[in-house]
Amino acid sequence: MGMKLSEQFQRFAKYECENSSKLYEVLSYQIAEDAELLDIVTTIPTGQPKPNLLFAIVHYLLFEKDESLKNYYPTFSDHLLPAEEAFLPFKQFVLKHEQSLNELFQTKLVQTNEVRRCAYLYPMLAEILKNINNH
C-alpha cells in the first residue's frame, strides 16, 4: 500500500501540479517520501483520489484555523512564503488536526469527473444542435 500511495502523490505532483500549483507540487513530492503522512492518508476511503482529498480538506480546515500554514496559500495571503518551505508547517498542521482530517475523510467526497458533472446539459445541447441542423 505504501509504495502505491507514494506513487499516487508523485504522479499527482507531476501530472496535476507541475506548471499549475507550485505549492501542491512541492508538498506532493515530499508527502510521497513521508511515511507518517502517508499513514494518515491511508484512512481515506478506497475510490477517492487521495492527494486531491487531502489537499482539499486541509484547505477547508484552514478557513477556520489561524495557522502559519495559511501564509503559503494564495487563498489566504497576498504575500506568499516560498512553496519550498511549506512542508514542515503542512506536516505539523496535518498531525495537529489528524482527528478532524480523519472524520472529514469519511464524509467528504471529491468529484473530479467534469464530464459527468455536465451530463444534465447534454439533452439541451442535443436539442439545440438538432434545431440548428434542421434550419
In tens digits, the chain (135 residues) has pLDDT values of 445 999 999 999 999 999 999 999 999 999 999 999 999 999 999 888 999 999 999 999 999 988 899 999 999 999 999 999 999 999 999 999 999 999 999 987 666 565 656 667 778 878 888 888 887
- 3-state SS string for the chain: CHHHHHHHHHHHHHHHHCCCCHHHHHHHHHHCCCHHHHHHHCCCCCCCCHHHHHHHHHHHHHCCCCCHHHHHCCCCCCCCCCHHHCHHHHHHHHHHCHHHHHHHHHHCCCCCCHHHHCHHHHHHHHHHHHHHHHC
Q: What is the pTM of this model?
A: 0.79
Q: Where are the domains of the chain?
A: 2-134
